[in-house]
Amino acid sequence: MYASQCPCRDVLDLLANKWAALAIGALEDGPLRFGELQRRLQGISPKVLTQTLRRLEDNGFVDREIFPAVPLHVEYSLTAIGRSVSKPLGALRTWVETHLDQLSA
Amino acid sequence: MYASQCPCRDVLDLLANKWAALAIGALEDGPLRFGELQRRLQGISPKVLTQTLRRLEDNGFVDREIFPAVPLHVEYSLTAIGRSVSKPLGALRTWVETHLDQLSA
């Protein structure tokens, strides 16, 4: 992990990112549409959410399914490895929430 | 965590960062000088390492001790809460290392 050429660096770079961690957490309960994700991740811009989801999809953590209904809609869901990484990411989020008072003291 | 005003967002933003995660990991074994940290975190620039350490120090994760020896030197070490957060961060690093082959398949 500490060698600069280690490919794990790129993965850590992708995951060790606030919006990626929050997006994966939001998808833990099941598939969501773009608008629902945007509402859950209060404050995220459509552009950053699009980039975050595309990076997560490109790296195999998120699936994107297009439903040819009228109107057409798209749903995002965690892949198996996305669900797997949601555990350590969830533990980091929980740590932050449970230590917040010590940090802002 | 999902409310945009939640202060935990800033902490997650600080921690959910490749260099912060690697710096905290490198300090798990004990205090290190700047140069030693820079060697461990291969590829990090002095500027980014300085910024990362300052942010970690400002948020209470890292202590900076100045030794008035000749030549003067500075050592960085984890605070108690820094050691506490190194566990979920270590779990995330370990997850990345152990799933790397599945990701690059």
Q: How far apart are CA B31 and CA A1, in angstroms?
A: 19
| H helices present in chain B, as ranges | 8-15, 18-26, 34-40, 46-58, 80-104
Chain A residues 55-84 with a CB less than 8 Å from chain B: 59-60, 81, 84
Best CA proximity match to B78, nearest among B22, B28, B37: B28
C-beta atoms of B96 and A17 within 8 A? no
Which pLDDT belongs to residue B15?
81
Q: In a 3-state reduction of DSSP, which class is residue A77?
A: strand
Does residue B1 register a pLDDT over 80?
no
The model's pLDDT over B46-90, given as tens digits with 9 standing for 90+, comes to: 999 999 999 999 999 999 999 988 888 899 999 999 999 999 999
Mean pLDDT of the region A71-78: 93
> Which residue of chain B has the CA closest to A89?
B92
Give the residue on A whose Cα is nearest the Cα of B20.
A16
> Do the Cβ atoms of A8 and B100 come closer than 8 Å?
yes
Check if A87 contacts B (Cβ < 8 Å): yes
Structural class in CATH, domain B8-104: mainly alpha
Q: Is ipTM over 0.90?
A: no
What's the pLDDT band for B38 if we cut at 50, 70, 90? very high
